[in-house]
Structure 1
Amino acid sequence: MRRGSLVLLVVVGIIVIAGMFVYGSFKSAQNQMVQKQENVSSKWSDVDVNLQRRADLIPNLVETVKGFTKEENSVFADIANARAGLLSASTPQDKIRANGTLDSAFGRLLALTENYPQLRSSDQFMRLQDELSGTENRIAVSRRYYNQAVQDYNTFIGQFPNSIWANILGFHRNDAYFQASEASRTAPNVKF
């Protein structure tokens, strides 16, 4: 074999091996991006199920509170509107915003119950509040898992060379994180 043919064969071999490496990296990154994106969707579904569970419990709690209070219609209207907003929201970003509105309205309802000791001691109210407390815990856990999945996905598509493959394949950063409300970031003023 001539020296020129040998050099050409080595160069072609190197190009083929490099091409296989690049293709393998591309396919591996693509598969992982799809898996991570599906994980985000799955974790969002968990959040959505728990938000729906809470939205289904709230009317029962509102009706129980209405039985004890007659003049607090604005609070009930706010909750009904916030709940309707949550149920009609279609994207994670919209649901996250609507959930914040519902949290705020629901907080006003719970503050209202402080004025009615007989309500707070009713068996039905206590049972509903326990169910709601359990649901709130489920929501907190599913939010945490969802945020972790979004962070994992964003980190993966932001790293080199995955960022190149993500741009080619059309995978984009997901910024639909749950964040603490402004009210929860302020420490309560406790006086002894």
Structure 2
Amino acid sequence: MASRAIIFHGTGGRPDAVWYPWLDRRLTERGWSVERPSYPRLNEEPIATFLPQVLESHTFDTDTVLVGHSGGAALILAVLEQLDVTVAQAVLVAGYCTQPNDEAEPVLRAEYDWNRIRSNATDFVFVNSADDPYGCDATQGRAMFDRLGGTLVVRDEGHFGDWNQPFATFPLLDRLI
């Protein structure tokens, strides 16, 4: 059973926003060690220069669960592509692997080594919304699911938290992790 989680916030986000502190508390209550790093330049700095900072800042092992929201979920794809270890689980909330809208997305790679990503996580969970206002929708979730397998959950819950969408708790994640 995994015992560590790293929760990556989304673009323009903070580790103390939306459901991140709540999930931290829920996992901590179960005896987990949880990290909620702050990456204010996430999806501003190109992934090629940003990714080494992330890889150096964390320890990844077979007891690690990676949870990412939006740009943080896209970051997890790049992280998994570089690891030399298989993590227990990767949970991508409002994740995407291709340009979801007209905004610049420096967190994305032009191409991914899907086989390598697949080999570096024991389990994948994708939680996307049919009505995501930023294009991080069910189509994006299906694209990742088709390449990586795992579990795809589609809801009608917007972006699962944003500046204009309070989302203080996320019981579904507590059940899925």
TM-score of the pair, normalised by structure 1 = 0.25
Q: Specify which structure has the bigger relative contact order, considering alpha-carbon pairs within 8 angstroms and separated by 6 or more residues.
A: 1
TM-score of the pair, normalised by structure 2 = 0.27
Structure showing the higher strand proportion among its residues: 2
Structure showing the higher helix proportion among its residues: 1
